[in-house]
Chains A and B, each alone.
Chain A
Amino acid sequence: MEHHLMFVYSAYFFTFLVLILIGINFFLAFNRSNKNISSFKNKAKKNK
């Protein structure tokens, strides 16, 4: 039975690993896009 629990835990581990990794990836992309826009606007203001 303990041998079977290893399968259960590995399935849960894989599921949450994928969800956490894509979650972090999407958050980083979102923050990067926000930063890019604000830095572009700042540069445009300076150039004026």
Chain B
Amino acid sequence: MTFIFISLGLWYGLFNSPPDYQQGETVRIMYVHVPAAWMAMMVYLSMTIMSIFALVWRHPLADILSKCSAPIGASFTLIALVTGSIWGKPTWGTWWVWDARLTSVFILFLIYMGHITLVRSFEDEYKGARAGAILTLIGAFNLPIIKFSVDWWNTLHQPASVIKLDGPAIHIDMMIPLILMALGFLFFYFSFLLINVQTELNNRKLKKLFIQSFSKKN
């Protein structure tokens, strides 16, 4: 599904959608930049929900899901930052500005990296997961700041044009590749999340087997 949606999105985005009347061909960067930014926020939102489950109900799978989501979310955030920077050069005339939207997304990337490091820095998995969950909940305050930063402050970044109360403001020919790529990225996330969860479960099982065999010997 990932391959199908991304292939269709690529074909539509690169060859079948019209160039923008102001930005020309550079508008095609939108088909990777915007879905990556959506995914960066969606993955973090799912991590926040998992952290609540982990802290309130102590569900062990919630910890694993949150831990396994973080590297994928960080990758999507990196893609959004770098492609946004590449898009900014021909459009704004600069690679980077410290405006509200760009800075808040950069902070999101730092929170992801902090979570990845923090969870793995504890010898005790439970303590690491707990610290990671608290960090995720604190960092969740950044999500509304990212979303509404373009409305609250004057930024170089354009305001929302797809997820709006009064409906999307972009043409259907640009909307189709955007949705296709977003679906492709979503399936990518789910596929690799499952693989990561299986890897984590295997590693924990191996640790348990090792401890069992060691205690039998002694």
Contact = CB atoms under 8 A, between A and B. Distances in A.
Interface string A17-46: 011001100110110011011001100100
B199 A30 contact: yes
Interface stretch (B45-53, B106-114, B139-147, B201-209): B201-209
Given A1-B25, A5-B25, A15-B36, A36 B206 contact: yes
From DSSP, what is the main secondary structure of chain B's interface residues? helix
Given A4-B90, A14-B86, A40 B28 contact: no
A11 B83 contact: yes
B155 interface: no
Chain B, interface residues (CB within 8 Å), range = 20 to 34
Nearest to A15: B32
Interface string B203-218: 1011001100100000
B29 A30 contact: no
A19 B75 contact: yes
B156 interface: no
Interface in B1-44: 10, 14, 24-26, 28-29, 32-33, 36
B192 A23 contact: yes
Given A19-B75, A19-B188, A22-B72, A4 B24 contact: yes
B86 A37 contact: no
Contacts of B87: 7, 11
A38 B191 CA distance: 23
Nearest to A31: B199
B67 to A, nearest CB: 13
Contacts of A26: 192, 195-196, 199
The interface centre, meaning the residue of A3, A15, A23, A37 with most chain B CB atoms within 10 A of its CB, is A15
Nearest to B210: A40
Contacts of A7: 26, 29, 86-87, 89-90
Given A7-B86, A10-B86, A29-B199, A40 B25 contact: no
Given A8-B25, A8-B26, A30-B195, A40 B86 contact: no
A19 B78 CA distance: 11
B117 interface: no
22 contacts: A1-B24, A1-B25, A4-B90, A7-B89, A8-B25, A8-B26, A11-B29, A11-B33, A12-B32, A14-B79, A14-B86, A18-B75, A19-B79, A22-B71, A27-B195, A29-B196, A30-B195, A30-B198, A30-B199, A30-B202, A36-B202, A36-B203
